[in-house]
């Protein structure tokens, strides 16, 4: 069990802001630094807060390697690496469900050499989850790094909910919120008693399920105060009393609970949905040795705990739970009394499914 810390925008609010500017840290001046010794420069494309400045400085002292960080998101990572054939970066951090399709279609990553990584530093369950979702032709392309969940929050002085579809109850008209994104489709499918992930290989059945979920959400629109685009929009709505219940990320829910104990973050009856971001090697990266050194460095429990504090999320480092804030440990235990048993991990997304989901989301948005 791990209990690292997470209070950051994504959940991905800060993250999903698509901060795409290149940050130069630790003495590196540009992503393509003319004449730079490749072995002394590590270029990472990643999410906000995943590479804390304090660890960059420590890594430089220990290894002599300077780290350059480019902030991005899944779509931008894949787009940049596709445009260059996997060049420009030595380490990337896409979500585990976005690896197989991108690799099969664009060949933008290279297999990992597990012998160069201290696998004993990883939580075994999380390592096995990524192995299932990032293995292509028998070769492993990713290792777990940062993860979190999406469930439900509610103000216990105003209401009580137990599953996603409770957001559509008549007594909550105009007082709930969700994102108009695929996680909402997945959540409502789960709450209907169906497993959307089990239908990934059956396009016809998956389309029918998404259509069903779309009709449910269209009927639910009078309940939805708004579709939120970022963490701050949601949290402000809850704090002000505008919103009584909503889908939310764990970090946001626990953060609200720390300032107002009436606000609860719960694991829904049908299960929280879990995401996980990873370490991958771009196909034409120039410093694999530096990338492996960084992975081993940040997965040391004491360093992983510092990453978790920066990100506000769980990490996949074994032993980092022992260094976590005691209050957060208690919140985790309250939300997940059975540990990770009732958590649904996103599997790899097959080609074509996001187009099906996009059409459903468009219909929901357009509906009166």
97 within domain boundaries: yes
Q: 211-237, pLDDT tens digit by residue? A: 999 999 999 999 999 999 989 999 999
2 within domain boundaries: no
One domain for residues 66 and 132: yes
One domain for residues 223 and 128: no
Q: Out of 15-24, 119-128, 234-243, pick the least confident.
A: 15-24
One domain for residues 359 and 230: yes
Q: Over 60: is that where the pLDDT of 6 sits?
A: no
Q: Out of 5-9, 86-90, 176-180, 206-210, pick the least confident.
A: 5-9
Q: 291-319, pLDDT tens digit by residue? A: 999 999 999 999 999 998 888 788 999 99
One domain for residues 220 and 357: yes
- Which H/E stretch holds residue 332? helix 326-335
Q: Over 50: is that where the pLDDT of 357 sits?
A: yes
One domain for residues 178 and 312: no
One domain for residues 218 and 265: yes
Report whether 156 contacts 238 (CB < 8 A): no
One domain for residues 68 and 120: yes
One domain for residues 140 and 59: yes
pLDDT band, residue 324 (cuts 50/70/90): confident
pLDDT band, residue 107 (cuts 50/70/90): very high
Sheet holding 66-71, edge to edge: 22-24, 66-71, 41-46, 91-92
35 within domain boundaries: yes
One domain for residues 129 and 37: yes
300 within domain boundaries: yes
130 within domain boundaries: yes
Q: Over 90: is that where the pLDDT of 26 sits?
A: no
Q: What integer pLDDT is reported at residue 1 of this predicted model?
A: 36
pLDDT band, residue 142 (cuts 50/70/90): very high
CATH of the domain at 314: 3.40.190.10
Q: 58-77, pLDDT tens digit by residue? A: 999 999 999 999 999 999 99
Q: What's the total number of domains in the chain?
A: 2
* Strands annotated E in 245-321: 245-249, 263-266, 272-279, 281-282, 314-315
One domain for residues 154 and 205: yes
One domain for residues 156 and 216: yes
Q: What is the pTM of this model?
A: 0.85
40 within domain boundaries: yes
Range of the domain at 40: 12-147+274-326
One domain for residues 191 and 141: no
């Amino acid at each position: 069990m791990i209990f690292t810390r997470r209070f950051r925008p994504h959940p991905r609010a800060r993250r999903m802001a698509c901060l795409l500017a290149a940050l130069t840290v630790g003495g590196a001046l540009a992503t393509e630094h003319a004449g730079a010794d490749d072995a002394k420069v590590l270029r990472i494309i990643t999410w906000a807060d995943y590479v804390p400045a304090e660890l960059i400085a420590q890594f430089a002292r220990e290894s002599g390697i300077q780290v350059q960080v480019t902030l991005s998101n899944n779509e931008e990572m894949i787009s940049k690496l596709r445009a260059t054939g996997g060049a420009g970066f030595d380490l990337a951090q896409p979500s585990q469900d976005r690896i197989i399709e991108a690799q099969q279609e664009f060949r933008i990553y290279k297999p990992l050499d597990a012998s160069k990584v201290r696998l004993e530093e990883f939580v075994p369950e999380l390592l096995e989850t990524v192995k299932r979702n990032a293995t292509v032709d028998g070769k492993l392309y990713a290792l777990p790094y940062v993860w979190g969940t999406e469930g439900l929050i509610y103000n216990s002085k105003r209401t009580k909910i137990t599953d996603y579809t409770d957001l559509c109850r008549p007594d909550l008209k105009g007082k709930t919120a969700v994102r108009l994104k695929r996680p909402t489709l997945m959540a409502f499918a789960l709450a209907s008693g169906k497993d959307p992930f089990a239908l990934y290989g059956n396009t016809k059945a998956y389309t029918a399920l998404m259509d069903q979920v779309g009709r449910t959400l269209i009927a639910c629109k009078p309940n939805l105060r708004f579709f939120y685009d970022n963490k701050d929009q949601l949290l402000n709505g809850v704090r002000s009393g505008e919103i009584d219940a909503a889908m939310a990320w764990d970090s946001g829910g626990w953060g609200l609970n720390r300032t107002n104990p009436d606000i609860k973050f719960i694991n829904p009856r049908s299960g929280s949905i879990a995401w996980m971001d990873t370490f991958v090697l771009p196909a034409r990266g120039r410093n694999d040795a530096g990338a492996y050194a960084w992975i081993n460095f940040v997965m040391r429990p004491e360093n992983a705990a510092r990453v978790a504090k920066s990100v506000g999320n769980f990490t996949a480092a074994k032993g980092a739970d022992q260094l976590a804030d005691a209050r957060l440990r208690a919140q985790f235990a309250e939300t997940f009394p059975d540990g990770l048993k009732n958590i649904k991990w996103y599997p790899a997304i097959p080609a074509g499914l996001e187009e099906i989901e996009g059409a459903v989301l468009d219909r929901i948005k357009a509906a009166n």
